[in-house]
Structure 1
Amino acid sequence: MSSQKRPQSVGPMGHGHGPGGGNMMMMGQKAKNFKGTLRRLLTYLKPRRNQLIAVILAAILSTVFMIVGPKIMGTAITELFEGAYGKFQGIPGAAINFDKIGQILLVLAGLYVFSSLFNYVQQYMMAGVAQNTVYDLREDVNKKLEKLPLHYFDGRSNGETLSRMTNDIDTIGSTLQQSLTQFITSIVTIIGIVIMMLSISPILTLISIVSLPISIFVIRPILKRSQKHFADQQRTLGQLNGHIEEMYTGHQVVKAFGHEKQAGDQFDKVNEELYEAGRKAQFISGIIMPMMFFIGNLSYVLISVVGGILVTQRAISIGDIQAFITYSKQFTQPITQTANIANIIQSTVAAAERVFELLDEEEETKEITTASLTRAQGAVTFEHVDFGYGEDLLIQDMNIEVLPGQTVAIVGPTGAGKTTMINLLMRFYELNGGKIKLDGLDTREVSRHDLRESFGMVLQDTWLFNGTIKDNIAYGKSGVTDEEIFAAARTAHADHFIRTLPEGYETILNEEASNISEGQKQLLTIARAVLADPPIMILDEATSSVDTRTEVFIQEAMKRLMEGRTSFVIAHRLSTIKDADLILVMDQGKVIEQGTHSELLEENGFYADLYNSQFSEKAG
């Protein structure tokens, strides 16, 4: 949803009202480092400087041809008036020279045609420049997102990142395509009109120009007051968008907990704030144009009176007066437009600054690959591993040795560090100290791509994209055949339910994959992991969303899948990990117990308490 308004697209000689004051401060946002950000934004235009020069030349020629028009029209009016006046006075041989007037009008028509042609050229070329620049920006942002560490996304809402990549970049593109050429046109128009007015009458020019500082003096306090309200409008608009997005994406939870009234009340509250800020901003800024028109009309009356006196004194011709009045009426429009565009450029630079802030975010630690990894055997070692999300360490001096082909279960209460351990294994986060080795190689010496290719993951939170079921299963491996996809689905016990769907494997999942059940989603992610055929498997509560019967099928499938592979299983239901080769019991970031199921029960420690508590709960 874009709240930014653009200048009204009125030609330099148009008589439209031009950009209203209400548009002038619509964004209400300023860049922290205007000059630095603007210079950086201009570097994206540098590869297209030749096209920009051509755009500027076309804009200048289009404007110049348009500006000369009223002067030539004035000549035709003078010719018509003098002929008619002479005939009226009975002067011998006096007549209207229609041939000469016709020639003047043909020249005028030619000027307007050329002006329109050059205007088309500059708009066409600028569209290409703007879209190519935005294309480059999007490419850079997309590449940057691929290099950002996981903690960047953990610490920011998805909406904020999306806003920078879409809304802010669109703002830059719109400004480049529309406002930049209008800014050039407005500047050329102002200069051209001043020159033409001076050539007609310096006295009348002085009267016309004097109205400008008076207008600025009158509207400046209004602009300052409106800016605060426009800033409030943008802030509350962002809050409202965020609230709507949260309530829409979580509408099932909202309904399940009966939170509709509170959500509606919160919406009404923010909406009321937005209404108040918008009403005040639009009302105050709406005063600008009437004030400017009032001052402009006073100037117009004064010019008409003085001009009439000069005509009676034969100081200037009546056609020149008509041309001058046309110029004076158009004089304030490009000035207002320039002020409006200057403010939009300021807001655009602020949007560019937000994009550059994203581009300047700290990337994942640069890879120094001194070792290559083809297909891992699956030996994993944690050596004195320390890690914390902040200053306080969550994991301290963790030491684990996992042999190839072993199934390792990780258990413990919520917040013990189970998922963190997996994140470290996948190198989603960098260690504070110690080493994690895969087949004896420090994982920091292997490329992230090769490392992560060695793992298959089935998470508690399923992720499926908008596409066919077949494409979702094939996501983890390129160049697979349909038969391989079908085989993976059969292994994961997903083939039967897929074939019962109307389109089978070609069934398209919607964006949230809400057209299949949670359990079916999990089966598809398991099929995806089966197809990827990785040497190491990570199962994070993989059976938490399926029924007991399906869980038995999945356990059988996983048992076959984990044969000959190293597997890490995070589980809360301890009954599912009795056969694990090694069970790691974690609490507060430390491995407090480790061993087989029977060994840990014999120790009668933390694990035994967890297991017995679950058993007694079931018995109860």
Structure 2
Amino acid sequence: MKDRTSSFPVIAKGKGIKGKLRLFRLMGLLRPHLKLFIVGLILSMISTAIGLLPPYISKEITDKVLVPMENPDLLVYLVSLLIILHIVNVVISAARSYIMSVLNNRVVLDLRDRLYKHVMSLSLDFYDRSKTGDIVARVFSYVRQIHSFLVNGLQTLIINILMLSGTLIIIFTINFKLALISLAPIPIIILATWAYQRRARFAFLKIWKVISNFTSYLTSVLSSIVLVKVLGMENIEIKRFRKYAKDMYDAQIDLTKINIKYFPAMRFSLALTSTLIMLIGGLMVLRGEATIGTIMAFLGYIWQVYGPIQALSGIMTLYTQAETAYEKLLEVLNMEPSVKEAPDAVDVEIKGHIKVEDVYFAYTNRPILKGVSLEVKPGEVIGLIGPNGSGKTTLARLLTRLYDPKKGRILIDNIDIRKIKFSSLRRQISMVPQEPLLLSGSIALNIAYGMKKVSPLDILIASKISCAHEFIMNLPLAYDTDVGEAGRRLSGGQKQMVCIARALIRKPKILILDEATSSIAIDLEEKIMQGVLAYLPNTTMILISHRPSLINFVNRVLEMRNGVIVNEFEGFLKERPVLDNNSYLNIIDPKTISIKYDGKSLCVSTKDGYTLKNIKAKLPFPISYPKMVILYGPKGDELCIIENYEELDPESRKALVEYIRNAYNMVGIEKIIRIMPVGRRRHGGIAIILKDEKGEIREEVVSVNAITVHDNTLMIITQDRIYITDLDNLDKTTRMGLLSFAIETESPWSSKE
């Protein structure tokens, strides 16, 4: 069989290895952090060695000071030594705790990063089969169980073996007979641990299963909360939630039942042996065979024998937990993407010529495409129509290489699509799917998503062509408005316009619009399509739609039924519309104008002698790029854009800043006095008491997502005003408190590739 190399090399070596050995392959994750692990281990060994001394010092105090009632100087010396040892041990333990915490979190970060990278490399068919909640559970919960063993269990194993070895040497030196008796419960513990591991393994597998089911259920319902509310299914979902929560409860109780059958018995055997040693040791003292100090020291050391034994048996729980979690991770890590980049794949500058030759495809056993063949010339616009399930969307996914054909091939500029690098395809082919896909974050971030470099002007042009600009500018924070999870704060049509803008900003060589305007009004759709056709005059386009208006925007229409093309006829598009792309933006040089503010509106004068009154100004990017301003006329018509108002003359800049602060009701913060979470009738919030720039004390209660940080600038957004300050102006405690609540907005101008 051909050897396959996983994209998760450290773990992939464990394939085919039996469970116990397979887990230890994960220790390779410690390799990048080996220095930290060794330092932590050395500190633990020193702490362990120091911990072995107090019982012996207690023996010396008893035998040489307390029993003979003499040597007070020795008592002071030994007690002082104990204090010093405890102080040193506290310092070493604190240093060890910090180092192990850093190591702990670095291992988790590394493992999650590797796992997530592997998940991202998998093809779309993996996500078709998987539940989102299950993937989340594996990335979050299962990784934590593995790291618990790697960092805590592994070090505990080494330290306790060292402590057990050292203590055994000491107790055999103190009293050989009692030392032999102390080993009596060890065979019982070994057998019990072996039996426990066999039963606990299945209990942990059940726990991981119910955690995945619970997480999958929760993510599914919360992402469909509108459906739940519309149909009034809240009580039904509460019952379902309780069922999944009860399954988790039952699984944990099953594990607890196994634990109480084994661990109390182990502890009892150790306690019984300790009591027996106390009895025999007491008799030895009465017979003069041992001193009181010797027996006290021995009893002190015996729990330093039994402590590691208990810890080592407890590590079996961590080990079993980690092993079963690792098995669940391997289910993902051993998968390989079904769509791979060929080793000899090349970069191509696409011209837009598409050939589909006898393509067959099926998601499962039911064929979707059955020998589809078509050709699209560079710059041609074709439409795909047909009933639902006829294969239109599937064909679009094959053209973007989200899937590969089961049979046949697709050529781009006469090159097999499988021989073109993914980076070339993704850069030059864009698709707007029928379900508008947005990420949580600002509108600007969503439009710029996937672009290496983008400017505010690029976003404005794309948004104007997609007719999104007008509704965006009417939002409180315009392009910096957060769309919510999956764009929940926007309507269906608004989301589609944003998605079209995201495709346009890339200026693709091939553009596929799959029902991309289905939620947009017909008159607005025509305006958008005319703009798209004019903005991308040489782009090959494939438009999928059920609307009759499709024929107006395409050169040809292909009809699909049951996975084949059954008909073809001409569209009404003979020539692309011609529009001046520069007409979308009127950018004015700030050095050619002067601005005055009369307390209500702006007065703009040009060097040519023109004066415009009753002018309004808006910030398209008030958080991410506050230097840009759009000026509007008295009737609300957009006049021009000042790309950077800081280039205005000082008086004009001062007037514009004053207008903006008044228009947006911006208030500077001198000091934040208090921050505290509060409960509100409808939702939780944050109460903030602050002193503004005029010295006035204000109290505001805002939602968590109303506190944002961007480039070290803090903004607190309320219904009436926007508070703003630099984080460096706040004291450290206040800054930490705000950052624990604030949303740190991502810049749309940095690379998203």
Q: Same fold (TM over 0.5)?
A: yes
Contact 2:137 2:212 in 1 (8 A): no
Q: Residue by residue, what CA displacement relative to the aligned partner does 1:537-557 show, whole Å, maximum 9, x if unpaired?
A: 111101112234433433333
Closer/same/farther in 2, CA of residues 348 and 278 from structure 1, 3 Å limit: closer
Larger relative helix fraction: 1
Matches within 5 A, 1:389-408: 389-390=363-364, 393-408=367-382
Match of 1:362 among 320, 336, 339: 336
Matches within 5 A, 1:7-46: 33-46=18-31
Aligned residue number for residue 85 of structure 2: 111
Aligned residue number for residue 555 of structure 1: 529
Aligned residue number for residue 56 of structure 1: 41
Residue 504 (str. 1) matches residue 443 (str. 2) = no
Aligned residue number for residue 570 of structure 2: 596
- Bigger relative contact order (CA 8 A; separation at least 6): 1
RMSD over equivalenced CA pairs, Å: 2.8
Q: TM-score by structure 2 length?
A: 0.68
Matches within 5 A, 1:70-469: 70-84=55-69, 96-214=70-188, 229=203, 231-286=205-260, 288=262, 290-363=264-337, 364-369=339-344, 371-374=346-349, 376-390=350-364, 393-469=367-443
Shift of 1:41: 1.2
Shift of 1:324: 1.4
Closer/same/farther in 2, CA of residues 166 and 267 from structure 1, 3 Å limit: closer
Matches within 5 A, 1:578-597: 578-596=552-570
SS at 1:387 equivalent: strand
Larger relative strand fraction: 2
Aligned residue number for residue 543 of structure 2: 569
Point out the more displaced range, 255-264 or 300-309: 255-264
Contact 2:358 2:371 in 1 (8 A): yes
In structure 2, distance between residues paired with 1:566 and 1:227: 57
Q: Residue by residue, what CA displacement relative to the aligned partner does 1:303-358 show, whole Å, maximum 9, x if unpaired?
A: 22221221123322211111112223443332121111133123223333443443
In structure 1, distance between residues paired with 2:336 and 2:233: 38
- Structure 2 gap ranges (5+): 1-15, 573-753
In structure 1, distance between residues paired with 2:43 and 2:450: 52
In structure 2, distance between residues paired with 1:148 and 1:313: 75
Identity of aligned residues (%): 28
In structure 2, distance between residues paired with 1:369 and 1:229: 48
Closer/same/farther in 2, CA of residues 216 and 170 from structure 1, 3 Å limit: closer
Q: TM-score by structure 1 length?
A: 0.82
Contact 1:183 1:341 in 2 (8 A): yes
Matches within 5 A, 1:489-568: 489-561=463-535, 563-568=537-542
Aligned residue number for residue 6 of structure 1: none
Shift of 1:58: 3.1
In structure 2, distance between residues paired with 1:361 and 1:47: 25
Shift of 1:214: 4.7
In structure 2, distance between residues paired with 1:360 and 1:278: 28
Contact 2:208 2:325 in 1 (8 A): no
Closer/same/farther in 2, CA of residues 277 and 130 from structure 1, 3 Å limit: closer
In structure 1, distance between residues paired with 2:169 and 2:419: 69
Task: Letter of the 1:323 partner, please give it.
Answer: A
Task: Letter of the 1:62 partner, please give it.
Answer: S
SS at 1:378 equivalent: coil
Point out the more displaced range, 495-504 or 40-49: 40-49
In structure 1, distance between residues paired with 2:44 and 2:533: 71
Closer/same/farther in 2, CA of residues 211 and 433 from structure 1, 3 Å limit: closer
Closer/same/farther in 2, CA of residues 469 and 427 from structure 1, 3 Å limit: same
Aligned residue number for residue 5 of structure 1: none
Contact 2:122 2:336 in 1 (8 A): yes
Closer/same/farther in 2, CA of residues 218 and 501 from structure 1, 3 Å limit: closer
Contact 1:407 1:582 in 2 (8 A): yes
Aligned residue number for residue 473 of structure 1: 447
In structure 2, distance between residues paired with 1:145 and 1:219: 36
SS at 1:306 equivalent: helix
Point out the more displaced range, 435-444 or 523-532: 435-444
Closer/same/farther in 2, CA of residues 558 and 261 from structure 1, 3 Å limit: same
Shift of 1:409: 0.8
Shift of 1:70: 0.6
Task: Letter of the 1:382 partner, please give it.
Answer: V
Aligned residue number for residue 634 of structure 2: none
SS at 1:394 equivalent: strand
Contact 1:381 1:399 in 2 (8 A): yes
In structure 1, distance between residues paired with 2:414 and 2:254: 67
Aligned residue number for residue 601 of structure 1: none
Aligned residue number for residue 730 of structure 2: none
Q: Residue by residue, what CA displacement relative to the aligned partner does 1:596-619 show, whole Å, maximum 9, x if unpaired?
A: 259xxxxxxxxxxxxxxxxxxxxx
Task: Letter of the 1:536 partner, please give it.
Answer: I
SS at 2:485 equivalent: coil
Contact 2:379 2:538 in 1 (8 A): yes
Contact 2:381 2:541 in 1 (8 A): yes
In structure 2, distance between residues paired with 1:515 and 1:199: 74
SS at 1:512 equivalent: helix
Task: Letter of the 1:68 partner, please give it.
Answer: L
SS at 2:431 equivalent: strand
Shift of 1:521: 1.1
Aligned residue number for residue 68 of structure 1: 53
Contact 1:409 1:584 in 2 (8 A): yes
Contact 1:537 1:562 in 2 (8 A): no
Task: Letter of the 2:164 partner, please give it.
Answer: I
Point out the more displaced range, 282-291 or 581-590: 282-291
Contact 2:447 2:459 in 1 (8 A): yes
Shift of 1:391: 5.4
Closer/same/farther in 2, CA of residues 177 and 145 from structure 1, 3 Å limit: same
Point out the more displaced range, 384-393 or 445-454: 384-393
Shift of 1:235: 3.2
Shift of 1:97: 0.8
Aligned residue number for residue 24 of structure 1: none
Closer/same/farther in 2, CA of residues 218 and 369 from structure 1, 3 Å limit: closer
Shift of 1:75: 1.1
Contact 1:212 1:332 in 2 (8 A): no
Shift of 1:106: 2.8
In structure 2, distance between residues paired with 1:109 and 1:540: 76
Task: Letter of the 2:49 partner, please give it.
Answer: V
Task: Letter of the 1:365 partner, please give it.
Answer: K
Contact 2:133 2:217 in 1 (8 A): no
Aligned residue number for residue 733 of structure 2: none
Aligned residue number for residue 25 of structure 1: none
SS at 2:388 equivalent: coil
